[in-house]
Amino acid sequence: MTEQRVTAAPAATATALEGDTLLAQAVSGARFLAKSQPLGVIGLFIVVVLCAVALFAPWLAHYGPKITAFDTYQPPSAAHWFGTDHLGRDIFSRVVWGARLSLYVGLASVGVGVTLGWVWGLVSGYFGGWFDSVSQRLVDILMGFPPIILALALMAVLGQSVNNVVLALIVLLMPTAARTMRAAVLSIREMTYVESAQAVGCSHWRVIFVHLAPNTLGTYIVLVTVNIAYAIVVEAALSFLGLGSPPDEPSWGGMLTAATESLERAPWIAFFPGLAISLVVFGMNLLGDALRDLTDAKLRGTTGAE
Amino acid sequence: MGMRRLIAAAVVLAGMAAGVLPLGAALAQETARRGGIVGYWDYSDPARLDWMIESALSNQQATAGVYSGLLQYDPDDPEQIVPDLATGYTADADGLGFAFTLRQGVKWHDGRPFSTADVKASFDRMLDPKVKSPRCGALLKDIVAKVQYPDDQTVHFRLKFPAATFLPSIASAWCRIAAKHVLERDGDLQSAKSQIGTGPFKFKRYERGSIIEWERNPDYYDPRYPLVDGVRQYILTAPARQMAAAKTGQIDLWYPYPPMTKTQADELRKVRGDQVDIIEWPVNNVWVVFLNTTKPPFDNVDLRRAVHLALDRQELFAKIFEGVGLPCAILDVKTDGAFALPPEEVNATPGCRRPKDQDIAEARRLVARHYPQGLDMDVLAFAYSNQTARAELVVSQLRKANIRGKIRSLEYGGAYSAIGRGDFQMIGSLNTANFVKDPNGLVSQLYISKGGRNFGKWKSERFDKLADAGVREIDTAKRIQIYYEMQRMLLNEDPSGVVMLGREYGYYFRDKRLRNYHFAPVMYDNLTFMKSWLTK
């Protein structure tokens, strides 16, 4: 191994070599990914761009997202790349700042919602019995509501704010994640290594979090990537219906709502946020599919198309 | 072509050639036709139909042709008051009383005879202190001392003081007469089955969220009217749907609210060309921001004044109304006549004058005096029509004065509920229409301490006294000076809990095949279609 051959070298050289090795591994991994999951790489690229836009929004956006200082309904131009909206706001700046809001909503709701659902599914699937029956009936109840109706009802009760959108999404995502994770646990808990752990006296919680959880990580990652896209779309839908983020926040869905009254006059007001939503959802779905394929033993080592 | 049409055509041509005969008068020479259905629309679903205790325009529109009042604004000339269920009135010698003679032989739509008992039941209800009658009750409660019924043909109103607003109030579309037997049977007029009137049309059907329909009343007291067989009001809440109805000819009239924007009017002109008359018209409606004066920060006059100074009305009107309307004006020369301050004086006052730099600097100074780090506040916005967008623009402008608003958007019912509880600091945008042809209509709603739409609960003894004097004064020249003083006080001293943004104007259309319809100075007062007729 490389590390063994350089143990006597000065520390700086060792770090450089480790860096080279990591880079080589990353390049090799990227080549493998590009070959086995080319669409996934495109998805990853889109997601990375989204993250970069969200992160560097203050530097990328030409103006503040709420500044109404410009003439209304200006078409795209050198001064306003995506034009201006009905209140004289720069649409490019709002789309850029909107990436931050979308990413926050996506990551926060999915991070919390899917993780809680993961734990719920692990516990429910592992213990089984009456606890499983009761908790799965609760999942049935929550999944029985059409998702957008449930989200609308929650927003109507909670009131309009970005954090309440996240809360509503958590309630939407948790039961689906719990059901999916429980299904994974039901097969894993019968494995011999789980029986072995139980036989040597591991506690239930150790079995759940040390032996079961790591083996459902693949499913968890796929759920996260797929649901980020879902969360972004639901946030956009809620904002479009007037029950999402506060109206002056640069939400892509909210921007679409504002555009409905001027589609003929100024189609660019709807076009660019619509394009942003489509691109991000497309990217997230490509990435999610690729990760699913990579974590699926049956598909591992093949391209998704095969 | 018959001799009558030849004569009519000759009159029209001669008049137009001479350039002295307005088009409306020329059309009046045509022979009115009977039949046809007027297509009209309502901007929202009224749901509740009791116009005695409701105040929404949609409510008035839904029932306007079904009822009659003692007096009415003449559909031929909506500036003029003419008899309706009263054939006339006489004033007492001291000017403190009016006796109305009731029309005989009038029937309710269910066939029962109309009588003074119905008039009594209606005014008893609207003037009852326990009944909140936000339109007619608000107009009359303070000025009417008592109503007497000396015989079965006469109603006599005795006033507390001579009031110039009395007759316009009695003629208002909000002060009509309902049937005593219906009020006794149903308890109110909220449902469709309670819509039994004496008006030119019978209430035919109401499908929630879809349509309201009236049909011709064959027993109307004036057998010449109505001329059309009925009116269909489509409930069109989405602006795109409203425009589609206008472009396809589903509706014959766009009036009264919300008006078309200039862009919409241009779109319609392109599609329907000379099939429609499009006019720019005052909506008789003010656009305002409300500040809650009962709690911080706007219990402080400095901060109310900061908001007043910081808002750039010209920019607001340019962006929301495409430059149409009267920024800053409280009263409008077109609708309030000489009671309105001259526009040049209004536009020179702090908060309205241009450029804005001086006013914004002063607003920042006032905010910094009480909130050195800037003021953060809650802004309530109505989630209907474009009120939210308007509030967004207001909030955006206030940032220049270091006032940072966080918008809380609520649907109609939720927003009014929050207002009722006083659960707001600022209402970012709202409209209030003058509902009677008198400047007191607006003042009594918005500014006096017990005004029905004084949502900010602003109280000023001096203003209340001025408003009271404005109602009591019957000398027009003196009244004008009183209203001038009120406007100057609001513009220069204390902007109250109502920050006036200005008077809304807009564009309306009338299909040329709808004849003898005249836009009224007060949007509620000519919605019956009683004398209109169709050529299609």
Q: Which residues of B touch A87 (CB under 8 A)?
A: 319, 389, 392-393, 396
- pLDDT tens by residue, B376-435: 999 999 877 688 899 999 999 999 999 999 998 887 778 888 998 999 999 999 988 888
Peptide bond into B256 cis (omega under 30): yes
| B448-to-B141, B270, B293, B460 alpha-carbon distances in Å | 14, 46, 13, 8
pLDDT confidence bin for B10, thresholds 50/70/90: very low
pLDDT confidence bin for A6, thresholds 50/70/90: very low
Q: Where is pLDDT greater, at A34 or A299? A: A34
Choose the closest CB to B392 out of A242, A248, A260. Answer: A248
What integer pLDDT is reported at residue A138 of this predicted model?
93
* B35 token code pair: 């039949």
Spatial distance between the Cα atoms of B438 and A96, rounded to a whole number of angstroms:
51
Q: Which residues of B touch A88 (CB under 8 A)?
A: 319
Which H helix or E strand runs over B326?
strand B326-327
- What's chain B's average pLDDT? 90
pLDDT confidence bin for B16, thresholds 50/70/90: very low
How would DSSP label each residue in B470-526?
HHH---HHHHHHHHHHHHHIIIII--TTEEEEEEEEEEEEEETTEES----SSTTSS
Question: Quick check: B171 pLDDT over 70?
Answer: yes
| Range list of β-strands (E), B383-465 | 403-410, 426-433
| B15-to-B18, B31, B518, B519 alpha-carbon distances in Å | 5, 17, 20, 22
Q: Which of B247, B321, B396, B417 should one mutate to test binding to chain A, selecting the residue with the greatest count of A CBs within 10 A? A: B396
Q: Do residues B427 and B469 touch, judged by C-beta distance below 8 A?
A: no
What percent of chain B is modeled with pLDDT above 70? 94
Question: Quick check: A84 pLDDT over 90?
Answer: yes
Spatial distance between the Cα atoms of B379 and B290, rounded to a whole number of angstroms:
10
What integer pLDDT is reported at residue B13 of this predicted model?
38
Peptide bond into B22 cis (omega under 30): no
Q: Where is pLDDT greater, at B3 or A59? A: A59
| A297-to-A186, A218, A285, A301, B134 alpha-carbon distances in Å | 17, 10, 20, 8, 72
| A82-to-A70, A75, A79, A270, B263 alpha-carbon distances in Å | 13, 7, 9, 10, 21
Instruction: Give the CA-trace dihedral at B70, B71, B73, B76, to 10 degrees.
Output: 100
- pLDDT tens by residue, B17-26: 343 334 444 4
Question: Quick check: A3 pLDDT over 80?
Answer: no
pLDDT confidence bin for A10, thresholds 50/70/90: low
- pLDDT tens by residue, A181-196: 999 999 888 888 888 9
Give the lowest-confidence range in A148-157, B85-94, B227-236, B453-462.
Answer: A148-157
What part of B 429-488 touches A (C-beta under 8 Å)?
A: none
Taking alpha carbons only, the member of B366, B439, B357 closest to residue B164 is B439
- What's chain A's average pLDDT? 86
Min Cα separation A160/chain B (Å): 7
Question: Quick check: A274 pLDDT over 60?
Answer: yes
Q: Where is pLDDT greater, at B298 or A154? A: B298
pLDDT confidence bin for A300, thresholds 50/70/90: low
CB contact under 8 A, B409 and A160: yes
Instruction: Give the CA-trace dihedral at A188, A193, A198, A204, to 10 degrees.
Output: -40
Query: For the whole model, what pTM was predicted?
Result: 0.79
| Chain B, nearest residue to A66 by Cα | B396
- pLDDT tens by residue, B267-322: 999 999 999 999 998 888 899 999 999 999 999 999 999 999 999 999 999 999 99
Q: Which residues of A touch B319 (CB under 8 A)?
A: 68, 72, 86-88
Q: Where is pLDDT greater, at B327 or B19? A: B327
**What is the identity of the amino acid at B194?**
S
* B187 token code pair: 């308890």
What part of A 160-199 touches B (C-beta under 8 Å)?
A: 160
- What is the mean predicted confidence (pLDDT) over A135-152? 90
Give the lowest-confidence range in A118-132, A249-263, B137-151, B473-487.
Answer: A249-263
What integer pLDDT is reported at residue B100 of this predicted model?
97
Interface membership of B397 toward A (CB under 8 Å):
yes
User: What values do phi and psi take at B110, rounded to 5?
Assistant: -95, 10
Alpha carbon A126 to chain centroid distance?
A: 27
What integer pLDDT is reported at residue B424 of this predicted model?
96
Total residues belonging to chain A:
306
- What is the mean predicted confidence (pLDDT) over B505-526? 92
Interface membership of A242 toward B (CB under 8 Å):
yes
Peptide bond into A146 cis (omega under 30): no
What integer pLDDT is reported at residue B29 of this predicted model?
63
Spatial distance between the Cα atoms of B115 and B112, rounded to a whole number of angstroms:
9
CB contact under 8 A, A72 and B386: no
Q: Do residues B428 and B405 touch, judged by C-beta distance below 8 A?
A: yes
Of A44-48, B138-142, B397-401, highest mean pLDDT: B397-401
Give residue B261's region: left, alpha or beta (phi > 0; psi -120 to 50). beta
**What is the identity of the amino acid at A197?**
A
